[in-house]
Structures are given as structure tokens and as C-alpha cells.
């Protein structure tokens, strides 16, 4: 029982981090109907940026997020503007999928050249501290990471619900054509939305680098988990992806505690297959796809 | 097949069959073995990724399956000659059978989600290869018996093995173009719902195409494993293999017979040259990504369709002037 509760705690904390990563992915899908296969690579890029900046400035990794977020926003918006926007519309879906895949590769190659392929981690000195409450271990970093993820999700929610930009984004998600007719600059919204989705990986990357050792190849691991979360939640539904992230975080932690950690990866694959077989639209996705 | 097409194919294979008897240079043979391997791989990817428009990113999982299957059956200590080659049909058919349920589930989705499922499959296959120690040897890898071939022409059997697979893949591609399967697949690519509406056996055709495609891929994995002599998870189930297949098909022109072939003949020698010049693996990841992006943005339809369109246009213009 102790084991199960401990796994639950770990699962909830990790699930929060997945939720943050998946929200960016979902946002991008919602706006552009593009599955961003580079999201994992952006997260790893965020992790490396945080690591380098931390080694250089010795500012706490959690504060560095304020620096890396705008940076990744610009990188994301540039990706959309220069690589995705020019694609021909008639086979844009297939091509943009492959373009994001190529971007993932390019980032992996770039990071391998700059950082080599040894496993790294961000070590601010308190990464192994934990509190013991009623016999249960709560890792400090994971706890902060969880809080940060929740905070970021709330900011994202407010941004989408309360600002003019958010309204433009939601309008574009619902119906790009009418949004354009009503004066929304859909090209800019796409670039900004993509940038915003990528920007979430700054925080996600910092957190990921704090709780797990990573190398440039880690993005494959991440992206297959992320995509499972996004599909389980229902493509395009941010709320759905948050819940799915929690479910998967807890599920994987339980499997890993009760059997072997290796099988935690297979939990994701098994869930992906089951979802596709029995409920292809995910938990909260609409059949039409693209509801936010 | 038109007469010109037959002549083209005859010339292509004639030259390739004769080639090893003119040169026994080791690096050349090695380069051609890999080029032909990618001709087979890209042509087989094209069957499902090109004709049907289902961009599989998981073919390397089946390549790895073929490699491990061969390695496990022909483990070290005894020197085998041609028998691993004769075993290839078993490898191919097993992969095809395994792919049926996978294809069935994966293809319940459309192009974008399909890519997700297959990329996850790739990752799972690699995890399995790393963790099923008893079967695969885990990270230590799995050795295969050293073949009992004459050292002077050691590469030759592998060359012909890959050539045969290339011919098989191109033959399948050719057949697809002329038969109902190919027509059904292109109907699916254009509009799956409409295809279903006019009575195309959508699911059956997709799964069949997928099975043939990964069967050939697995066989290439088998020859590769025997040639390399050692199978490691990170090389047998390597995303770079998938990427190679996709990139070559796109560069040459997808849904064409010769596109993947041209792509392989451009990129494999370039890659061998680059890895010889730059050494580091990481640089050609960057180069791959760059070529990939440039192809998508500048030549989204690939070299062959772009050129043949230009020729067609010129011809029409000339006809109009005359």
C-alpha cells in the first residue's frame, strides 16, 4: 500500500510536467491542425538552454525560465514563419508533419554537436532534497516543477480566455475562414500560436532537466509519451490533455513501481493502441477535431 | 509496362548485375550495397508512404525485426554460406504477418495520427531490443556467424542480395502502379471517404500495402545484419533508417517508380562521402535535416515529377507553336 501511495504521489507530480508539455502541443494542433513532432526536441532544447545558462550565471533554474521562455517563443514563431507557412496548402498536413520531424532531427543534430551525447542533468544543488510527510517522500524539485506547471497552465488559460490575442486564437481554432473575415490576421495568429506552444517547452524543459538526465536523443522518448497523452486527451482539447497527462503520469508511475520501470514505457504504447481501437477521438476530443 | 519502361529497367539492372565483375574495389561494393539497400527500403516505403499517403515513421522497427530475426536464427560459431539469404522469405513473411494487426490498428487513423502511432512503434521496438536480453543481447548486441565467403569478393553475395531486394521492391512498386491495389491506394490518398464511398476495400488494401512494404523492409534488415555481422539496438532500430527512407522518397518523387531509386542514388553516396569527410555522426544528422527541409520547401513533389512536368509543359508549348 505504501508503495502504491508513493507511486501515486510521484505520478501526480510527473503528470503535472507532462500536462505542461502536452498543453503546448495541443495549442499548436488546435490552431494549425499540425502535429508538432518537434515538441520533444524543443523541450530538450529548453533543458540544454537552462543548463548552460545556469552553469554560466548560477541563477536558479526556475528563474531562468523567465529568460528562456521568450527565446523559445521566438524560435517557435520563426519555425512557423519560415518553414511551415510557405508550404503548399494542398498537402500541407502531410508536409508540415514531416517538416516538424525534420526540425526535430535538426535540433537533435545541433544539440549533439554542441553538447555531445552524454547524459546531462541540471544540478542546482537541491535536486535530490525531499520532504518526508507521514512516511512518504516528496521530492522538492518535482514538487516545485508541479507547482510551476500548474502556474503556467493557469497563465496559458488566462491568455487564451481573457486577452484579445487569446480570442483571435480561439476564433482561428473554431473556424479559420470566418476568423479571417472578421479581421483576424490568421498568419500572425498561426505564428504567434506556434511560438506560444513552443514557449511552454522552456519551462517544461527546465523542469524535465531537473528531474531526469537527458541527452539530445531523449526527444524520441518524450515525443512518443507526449503524443500518447495528446491522443488520449483528444486532439485539440487542452483540458483533455491535462487530465490525460495526469492519468498517464499516475499510470506509468504505478506500473513502474509494481513491475519494472521498463514497462512504464509500454504503458504508453498500450494506452495508445487501446485508445485508437476503442475511442479514436480520445477522452474529450470531438469527432470533428479542433475544439479547444 | 511500356517498351521504354522495359528498356530503362533492363538497362538499369543489366548495368548493376554486371558491375561487380568489373570492379572488386571494396569501398565501391560497400557503397553499392548500402545504395541498393536504400533503393529497396525507399521503394518499399513508397508503397504505403507514397501511393497511399500514409507517412510511416516506424519502418525501422521492421528493419530491426528482420535484423534480429536473422541474427537470432544464425547465431555465431558456425560459418553459414548462402543459407541466411534463403531464409529471407521467412523473415519477410513473418514481418508481414506481424504487421497485419499493427497496420489494422494504426490505419484506423488518418495520416497525421498514423505517423504518431508508427513513431511510437519505432521507439517501443528499440526499447524491446534493449531489454529482451536473452533474445537480443540487450545493449551488448547480438553477433552473427562470419559468412564463409571468399574474402576477395566478400561483398558480392550481399550486393546481389540487396540487388534482388531492390528488384523485388521496384517490382512491387511497378505492380502497384498497374493494378487495382495501386489505384485503390491512390484513391485513398486523394480522399479516403470518397474512396470508401465508391466501394474501395479501404481497410484491406491499406493493411495489404503496409504488410508488403514492411515485409521487404524486414528482409533488407536481414541482409544488413548478416553483412554487418553484429546487431546493436541503436543501429538496427535507428530512426535514421526511417528518415533515410522518407527523405529519399520525397527527394526523388513520391508515388513514382524511379523517385525512391533516384533519391537513394543521390543520398547514400553523399552520406558515405560526408561521413568519410566529417567523421562525426552528428553532423550528418544536421545535413539530413537541412536536405529534408530544403526538399520540402523547394521541391515538395520531388525531382522526377518536377522535371517530367517541365518536359511535358515544353512539349505542349512546342505543339501549340507548331
d(CA B70, CA B80): 12
Which of B105, B287, B292 comes nearest A276 by C-beta? B105
Please, are residues A193 and A78 in contact by the beta-carbon 8 Å criterion? no
If you average pLDDT over residues A39-44, what whole number do you get? 94
Is residue A228 pLDDT above 60, yes or no?
yes
Name the minimum distance, in Å, from the CA of B245 to any CA of chain A: 12
Backbone angles phi, psi at B300, to 5 degrees: -60, -20
Contact between B119 and A103 using a beta-carbon 8 Å cutoff: no
Residues of B within 8 A of A83 (CB-CB) are 293, 296-297
- Give the 3-state secondary structure of chain B: CCHHHHHHHHHHHHHHHHHHHHCCCHHHHHHHHHHHHHHHHHHHHHHHHHCCCCCCCCHHHHHHHHHHHHHHHCECCCCCCCHHHHHHHHHHHHHHHHHHHHHHHHCCCCHHHHHHHHHHHHHHHHHHHHHCHHHHCHHHCEEECCCCCCHHHCCHHHHHHHHHHHHHHHHHHHHHHHCHHHHHHHHHHHCHHHHHHCCCCHHHHHHHHHHHHHHHHHHHHHHHHHHHCEECHHHHCCHHHHHHHHHHHHHHCCCCCCHHHHHHHHHHHHHHHHHHHHCCHHHHHHHHHHHHHHHHHHCCCCHHHHHHHHHHHHHHHHHHHC
Position A291 scores a pLDDT of: 38
d(CA B280, CA A20): 35
Express each pLDDT in A163-182 by its tens digit: 888 888 888 877 878 888 88
Is residue A208 pLDDT above 80, yes or no?
yes
Which of B121, B292, B300 comes nearest A102 by C-beta? B292
Name the minimum distance, in Å, from the CA of B1 to any CA of chain A: 29
Please, are residues A8 and A250 in contact by the beta-carbon 8 Å criterion? yes
If you average pLDDT over residues B287-315, what whole number do you get? 87
Contact between B123 and A106 using a beta-carbon 8 Å cutoff: no
Confidence band for B34, pLDDT divided at 50, 70 and 90: very high
Q: Is B277 at the interface with chain A, CB within 8 A?
A: no
Mutate to test the interface with A, among B60, B105, B113 (most CBs of A within 10 A): B113
Express each pLDDT in A119-175 by its tens digit: 888 888 777 777 887 777 788 888 888 888 888 888 888 888 888 888 888 888 778
Confidence band for B82, pLDDT divided at 50, 70 and 90: confident
What's the burial of B68, exposed, middle or buried (CB within 10 Å: 0-12/13-18/19+)? Answer: buried
Which of A88, A102, A265 comes nearest B289 by C-beta? A102
Most confident of A68-77, A204-213, A233-242: A68-77
Contact between A276 and B115 using a beta-carbon 8 Å cutoff: no
Is residue B32 pLDDT above 50, yes or no?
yes
Express each pLDDT in B229-246 by its tens digit: 889 988 888 888 998 999
Contact between A97 and B286 using a beta-carbon 8 Å cutoff: no
If you average pLDDT over residues A41-62, what whole number do you get? 92
Domain boundary assignment for chain A: 2-224
Count of CB contacts below 8 A, A vs B?
A: 121
Closest chain B CA to residue A227: B116
DSSP letter, residue B80 = P
Position A292 scores a pLDDT of: 38
If you average pLDDT over residues B57-68, what whole number do you get? 94
What residues pair up with B75 in beta bridges, in sequence order? B144
Residues of A within 8 A of B271 (CB-CB) are none
Residues of A within 8 A of B127 (CB-CB) are 262, 265-266
Q: Is B123 at the interface with chain A, CB within 8 A?
A: yes
Position A47 scores a pLDDT of: 94
Express each pLDDT in B1-10 by its tens digit: 678 888 888 8
Contact between B283 and A113 using a beta-carbon 8 Å cutoff: yes
Percent pLDDT > 70 in chain A is 97
Position B210 scores a pLDDT of: 94
d(CA A42, CA A143): 23
Backbone angles phi, psi at B60, to 5 degrees: -60, -25
Is residue A85 pLDDT above 90, yes or no?
no
Name the minimum distance, in Å, from the CA of B197 to any CA of chain A: 19
Amino acid at each position: 500500500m505504501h508503495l502504491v501511495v508513493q507511486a501515486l504521489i510521484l505520478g501526480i507530480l510527473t503528470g503535472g510536467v507532462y500536462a505542461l508539455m502536452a498543453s503546448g502541443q495541443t495549442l499548436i494542433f488546435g490552431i494549425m491542425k499540425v502535429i508538432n513532432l518537434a515538441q520533444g526536441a524543443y523541450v530538450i532544447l529548453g533543458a540544454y538552454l537552462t543548463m548552460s545558462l545556469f552553469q554560466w550565471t548560477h541563477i536558479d533554474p526556475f528563474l531562468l525560465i523567465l529568460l528562456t521562455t521568450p527565446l523559445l517563443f521566438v524560435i517557435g514563431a520563426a519555425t512557423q514563419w519560415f518553414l511551415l507557412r510557405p508550404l503548399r496548402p494542398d498537402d500541407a498536413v502531410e508536409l508540415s508533419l514531416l517538416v516538424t520531424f525534420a526540425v526535430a532531427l535538426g535540433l537533435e543534430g545541433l544539440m549533439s554537436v554542441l553538447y555531445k551525447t552524454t547524459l546531462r542533468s541540471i544540478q542546482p544543488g537541491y535536486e535530490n532534497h525531499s520532504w518526508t510527510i507521514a512516511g512518504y517522500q516528496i521530492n522538492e524539485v518535482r514538487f516545485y516543477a508541479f507547482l510551476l506547471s500548474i502556474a503556467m497552465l493557469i497563465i496559458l488559460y488566462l491568455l487564451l480566455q481573457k486577452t484579445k490575442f487569446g480570442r483571435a486564437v480561439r476564433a482561428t481554432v473554431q473556424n479559420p475562414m470566418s476568423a479571417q473575415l472578421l479581421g483576424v490576421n490568421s498568419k500572425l495568429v498561426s505564428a504567434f500560436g506556434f511560438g506560444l506552444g513552443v514557449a511552454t517547452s522552456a519551462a517544461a524543459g527546465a523542469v524535465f532537466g531537473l528531474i531526469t538526465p537527458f541527452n539530445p536523443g531523449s526527444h524520441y522518448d518524450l515525443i512518443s509519451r507526449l503524443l500518447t497523452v495528446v491522443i488520449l486527451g483528444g486532439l485539440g482539447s487542452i483540458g483533455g490533455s491535462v487530465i490525460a497527462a495526469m492519468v498517464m503520469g499516475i499510470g506509468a508511475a504505478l506500473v513502474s513501481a509494481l513491475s519494472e520501470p521498463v514497462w512504464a514505457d509500454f504503458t504508453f504504447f498500450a494506452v495508445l493502441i487501446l485508445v485508437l481501437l476503442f475511442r479514436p477521438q480520445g477522452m474529450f476530443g470531438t469527432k470533428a477535431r479542433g475544439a479547444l | 509496362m511500356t517498351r521504354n519502361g522495359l528498356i530503362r529497367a533492363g538497362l538499369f539492372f543489366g548495368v548493376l548485375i554486371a558491375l561487380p565483375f568489373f570492379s572488386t574495389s571494396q569501398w565501391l561494393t560497400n557503397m553499392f550495397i548500402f545504395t541498393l539497400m536504400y533503393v529497396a527500403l525507399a521503394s518499399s516505403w513508397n508503397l504505403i508512404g507514397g501511393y497511399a499517403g500514409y507517412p510511416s515513421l516506424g519502418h525501422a522497427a521492421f528493419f530491426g525485426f528482420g535484423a534480429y530475426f536473422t541474427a537470432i536464427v544464425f547465431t555465431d560459431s558456425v560459418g553459414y554460406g548462402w543459407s541466411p539469404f534463403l531464409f529471407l522469405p521467412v523473415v519477410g513473411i513473418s514481418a508481414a504477418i506481424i504487421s497485419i494487426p499493427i497496420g489494422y490498428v494504426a490505419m484506423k487513423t488518418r495520416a497525421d495520427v498514423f505517423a504518431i502511432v508508427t513513431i511510437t512503434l519505432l521507439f517501443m521496438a528499440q526499447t524491446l531490443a534493449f531489454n529482451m536480453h536473452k533474445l537480443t543481447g540487450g545493449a551488448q548486441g547480438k553477433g552473427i556467424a562470419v559468412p564463409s565467403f571468399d574474402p576477395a569478393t566478400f561483398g558480392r553475395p550481399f550486393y546481389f542480395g540487396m540487388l534482388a531486394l531492390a528488384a523485388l521492391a521496384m517490382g512491387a512498386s511497378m505492380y502497384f502502379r498497374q493494378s487495382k491495389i495501386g489505384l485503390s491506394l491512390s484513391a485513398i490518398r486523394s480522399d479516403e471517404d470518397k474512396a470508401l464511398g465508391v466501394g474501395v476495400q479501404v481497410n484491406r488494401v491499406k493493411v495489404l500495402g503496409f504488410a508488403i512494404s514492411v515485409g521487404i523492409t524486414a528482409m533488407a534488415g536481414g541482409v544488413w545484419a548478416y553483412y554487418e555481422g553484429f546487431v546493436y539496438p541503436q543501429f538496427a532500430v535507428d530512426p535514421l533508417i526511417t528518415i533515410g527512407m522518407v527523405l529519399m522518397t520525397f527527394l526523388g518523387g513520391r508515388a513514382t517508380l524511379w523517385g525512391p531509386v533516384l533519391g537513394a542514388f543521390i543520398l547514400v553516396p553523399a552520406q558515405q562521402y560526408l561521413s568519410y569527410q566529417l567523421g562525426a555522426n552528428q553532423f550528418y544528422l544536421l545535413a539530413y535535416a537541412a536536405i529534408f527541409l530544403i526538399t520540402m520547401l523547394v521541391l515538395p513533389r520531388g525531382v522526377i515529377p518536377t522535371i517530367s512536368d517541365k518536359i511535358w509543359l515544353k512539349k505542349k508549348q512546342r505543339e501549340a507553336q507548331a
